[in-house]
Amino acid sequence: MLLTISTTHSPATDLGYLLHKHPDKFQSVDLSIGKAHIFYPESAPEKTTVALLLDIDPIDMVRGSRNMAGKGFALGQYVNDRPYVASSFMSVAIAKAFSTAMNGKCNARPELTSIEMPLETKIAVLPTPSGGERLIRKLFEPLGYTVTLQRHTLDDQFPAWGESKYYTVTLQNSVTLQALLSHLYVLIPALDNDKHYFVSQGEIDKLLEKGKGWLENHPEKEQITRRYLINVGSLTQEALARLNEVETGKNVNEEIPEAVKQKKQTLHQQRLQQVLEQLKKTKAKSVIDLGCGEGKLLRMLLKEKQFEKITGMDVSFGELVKAKNKLYWDEMAPKQKERIQLFQGALTYRDQRLEGYEAAALVEVIEHLDESRLQVLERVVFEFAQPKTVILTTPNAEYNVLYDTMEAGHMRHTDHRFEWTREEFETWATQLAERNNYKVTFLPVGPEDAEVGAPSQMGIFTL
Distance CA 78, CA 413 (A): 35
Cβ neighbours, 10 Å, residue 62: 17
Q: For ligand SAH, which residue of 319, 358, 419, 449 counts as binding (CB under 6 A)?
A: 319
H or E stretch at 460: strand 456-462
| Residue 387 CB, nearest approach to ligand SAH (Å) | 15
Counting contacts by CB under 6 A, is residue 346 touching ligand SAH?
A: yes
Q: Which is nearer to ligand SAH, 20 or 373 (CB)?
A: 373
Counting contacts by CB under 6 A, is residue 315 touching ligand SAH?
A: yes
Q: Which is nearer to ligand SAH, 16 or 293 (CB)?
A: 293
Residue nearest to ligand SAH (CB): 293
| Residue 318 CB, nearest approach to ligand SAH (Å) | 8
Of 151-159, 256-264, 334-342, 362-370, the window that binds ligand SAH (rule: CB under 6 A) is: 362-370
Counting contacts by CB under 6 A, is residue 292 touching ligand SAH?
A: yes
Counting contacts by CB under 6 A, is residue 286 touching ligand SAH?
A: no
Interaction residues for ligand SAH, span 14-73 (CB under 6 A):
none
Contact map string, positions 242 to 281, toward ligand SAH, x by CB under 6 A: ----------------------------------------
- 56-65: list long-range contacts, CB under 8 Å, 24+ apart: 56/1, 56/31, 56/82, 56/83, 56/89, 57/33, 57/83, 58/82, 58/83, 60/33, 60/34, 61/33, 61/196, 65/401, 65/451
Counting contacts by CB under 6 A, is residue 429 touching ligand SAH?
A: no
- b vs e for 235-269, b when ≥16 Cβ sit within 10 Å of the residue's Cβ? bbbbbbbbbebbeeeeebeeebeeeeeeebeebbe
Backbone angles phi and psi of 173, in degrees to 5: -165, 160
- Give helix 201-211 / helix 177-191 axis angle, nearest 10°: 140
Counting contacts by CB under 6 A, is residue 287 touching ligand SAH?
A: no
Of 200-208, 210-218, 345-353, 432-440, the window that binds ligand SAH (rule: CB under 6 A) is: 345-353
Counting contacts by CB under 6 A, is residue 347 touching ligand SAH?
A: yes
Number of residues binding to ligand SAH, judged by CB under 6 A: 16
Q: Which is nearer to ligand SAH, 46 or 355 (CB)?
A: 355
Q: For ligand SAH, which residue of 14, 194, 203, 314 counts as binding (CB under 6 A)?
A: 314
DSSP for residue 212? T
Distance CA 124, CA 328 (A): 53
Of 167-175, 195-203, 289-297, 427-435, the window that binds ligand SAH (rule: CB under 6 A) is: 289-297
Counting contacts by CB under 6 A, is residue 293 touching ligand SAH?
A: yes
Secondary structure of the chain: what % helix, strand, coil (to 5)?
A: 45, 25, 35
The DSSP-derived string for 341-364 is EEEE--TTS--GGG-S-SEEEEES
- Give helix 201-211 / helix 221-228 axis angle, nearest 10°: 140
Q: Which is nearer to ligand SAH, 66 or 296 (CB)?
A: 296
H or E stretch at 89: helix 88-97
| Residue 458 CB, nearest approach to ligand SAH (Å) | 12
Residues near ligand SAH (CB under 6 A): 291-293, 296, 314-316, 319, 346-348, 363-365, 368-369
